[in-house]
Structure 1
């Protein structure tokens, strides 16, 4: 036996106490709610995966009985809701209702994705405008359309207005009509390919967009005056080959000068008409020179040479008209000069170069 340093007997180790039974009538711990039953009900309500609620409910019921848990009603309700959802889904697939719903959702998505701000239009974009392109109204959004499909308009380019003060609608429109016409002609160098229903169109800043959004952009376009446009009208250096570009650049220069004919005839304004005739002769000389200076391939060489011959013949008449001493002499060469430049001039050359062969219609008399 060991002893303590003081000599007293060593203490004995403590004896364990027997467990104390609970007092009579003390409450028992509450039964827990089965988690699978809760999951079954939630799944049945949300309907994310309809059959899952049935499976969870079936697993929950025996566990509830075995463990004395609560949640039987939850499990049964979840299974019932899941069963209804499963039947509805099956019916939806059987009748094609879900397919129609999905198609509708895709259409809405495409519609939203194709709606764009009018401020974000870029050169080459094709679009539909609410109410049609000829409707004169303030526009905030347009619908982007594939150019191969029918559309209201096609953007040909844009330019920036200058100045701090809003210039006013009449001043903007005057500038837009002139500059958008030129932008459109450069965008579509193959003028014969521009349909008759295509007209020059533009968006310009309003006074509010000028002040609030610092908007200075005039967006130019070709728009359908009637019906729709189909296919892109773009025919410039980005879409034409070198031979097409050389031909159109040459002949378009002559067309541009012819369109500048004075409104007054030579009897009323002789000097203006002779000066214009001189410009026509110069343009014809330049066009013939450019065509002769370019080597056109294969089947296009001969018809282009025929065009050069016609241009040189016409140049002689217009040079004489420019040198006329009076109105009578001017008229003597005016008609032959135009006769040498028929509206369908170069049709064969265009066919060989794979350009449009639909010649412009003559303007109605009167």
Structure 2
């Protein structure tokens, strides 16, 4: 999902003038409404000036394709989104097009966001990853920035999403776990049937196997009972992913994949997460996938 960025709009200034004029009528409710509107107008900021940690309310809607400015608010107030990271597109002389910029954002924003939110299980339900990226017009002015945000399409949430201080075991677990599921979904073939993209599914299995091996290496340093049990379970899953990656035919792949996919069911990590004092509620999207 993407949101384009353009230049600052003057609509906020116009809103202040109109609201102040209405407030002059002396009607108490109108005055209060005018004050609230004026407060919102004063909080308007160009999307170009957003920085990591900013909490905001879009003026046009979270999923609108372009946004000129947003209302930046204290994170203690209800809001629709928060900027969780940013980066600049490099190595591109010409504008890569909307498809190209969204692909870059799709690839980089998840990793950038994890620097702000180490444990994605703490993200409120209904809050998803969005981003503001350059348009062809803003590219001509030197705009190369992509702002990665977590936002809620319907409703609001309160408080900052930034992770608190985490100890070494928590960080080691989360780094490996995040990389594991990122490898799974980032390499998910578009074809729904393995027969239609056998090589693509084998490539996915190989990527997951590599990420899982790295996760297991990190888990060896955590000597807590439930985490040790989880490591044993994931070792079996790793073998299944490797068998899927080297399968000679689709029948062999299906047999290995079933064991591999079941082996990384997030529900099976809850006990270890509880032991490590991490979030223990499986995200709704993940719960639905592994419930099938």
TM-score by length of 2: 0.74
TM-superposed deviation, 1:208: 4.3
Residue in structure 2 matched with residue 203 of structure 1 by the alignment: 132
Question: SS at 2:121's partner residue?
Answer: helix
Question: SS at 1:223's partner residue?
Answer: strand
Residue in structure 1 matched with residue 277 of structure 2 by the alignment: 354
TM-superposed deviation, 1:328: 1.8
TM-superposed deviation, 1:128: 1.1
Report matched runs for 1:1-366 at 5 Å.
111=40, 114-139=43-68, 141-162=69-90, 163=92, 165-211=94-140, 213-235=141-163, 239-259=165-185, 260-264=187-191, 265-294=193-222, 301-359=224-282, 360-363=286-289
Quote the Cα distance in structure 1 between the aligned partners of 2:143 and 2:245.
Answer: 46
CA deviation string 1:227-256 (max 9, x = no partner): 113222223xx7433222111112222212
Q: Is the contact between residue 244 and residue 355 of structure 1 (CA under 8 Å) also seen in structure 2?
A: yes
CA RMSD of aligned residues (A): 3.4
Question: SS at 2:150's partner residue?
Answer: strand
1:281 and 1:220, CA in 2 relative to 1: closer, same or farther beyond 3 A? Answer: closer
Mark the structure with the bigger radius of gyration. 1
Question: SS at 1:132's partner residue?
Answer: coil
Quote the Cα distance in structure 1 between the aligned partners of 2:135 and 2:246.
Answer: 49
TM-superposed deviation, 1:224: 0.9
Question: SS at 1:230's partner residue?
Answer: coil
Quote the Cα distance in structure 2 between the aligned partners of 1:173 and 1:249.
Answer: 24
Quote the Cα distance in structure 1 between the aligned partners of 2:98 and 2:246.
Answer: 43
Question: SS at 1:218's partner residue?
Answer: strand
Please list every run of 5 or more consecutive structure 2 residues that lacks an aligned counterpart in the other structure. Answer: 1-25
1:195 and 1:113, CA in 2 relative to 1: closer, same or farther beyond 3 A? Answer: same
Question: SS at 1:147's partner residue?
Answer: coil
1:262 and 1:291, CA in 2 relative to 1: closer, same or farther beyond 3 A? Answer: same
Question: SS at 2:101's partner residue?
Answer: helix
Structure with greater contact order relative to length (CA < 8 Å, sep ≥ 6): 2
Quote the Cα distance in structure 2 between the aligned partners of 1:195 and 1:289.
Answer: 30
More strand by share: 2
Q: Is the contact between residue 198 and residue 222 of structure 1 (CA under 8 Å) also seen in structure 2?
A: yes
Q: Is the contact between residue 134 and residue 224 of structure 1 (CA under 8 Å) also seen in structure 2?
A: no
Quote the Cα distance in structure 1 between the aligned partners of 2:207 and 2:93.
Answer: 38
Quote the Cα distance in structure 1 between the aligned partners of 2:198 and 2:108.
Answer: 29
Q: Is the contact between residue 343 and residue 362 of structure 1 (CA under 8 Å) also seen in structure 2?
A: no
When the two structures are aligned, how many residues end up with a matched partner?
260
TM-score by length of 1: 0.60
CA deviation string 1:57-101 (max 9, x = no partner): xxxxxxxxxxxxxxxxxxxxxxxxxxxxxxxxxxxxxxxx9xx9x
Quote the Cα distance in structure 2 between the aligned partners of 1:218 and 1:245.
Answer: 26
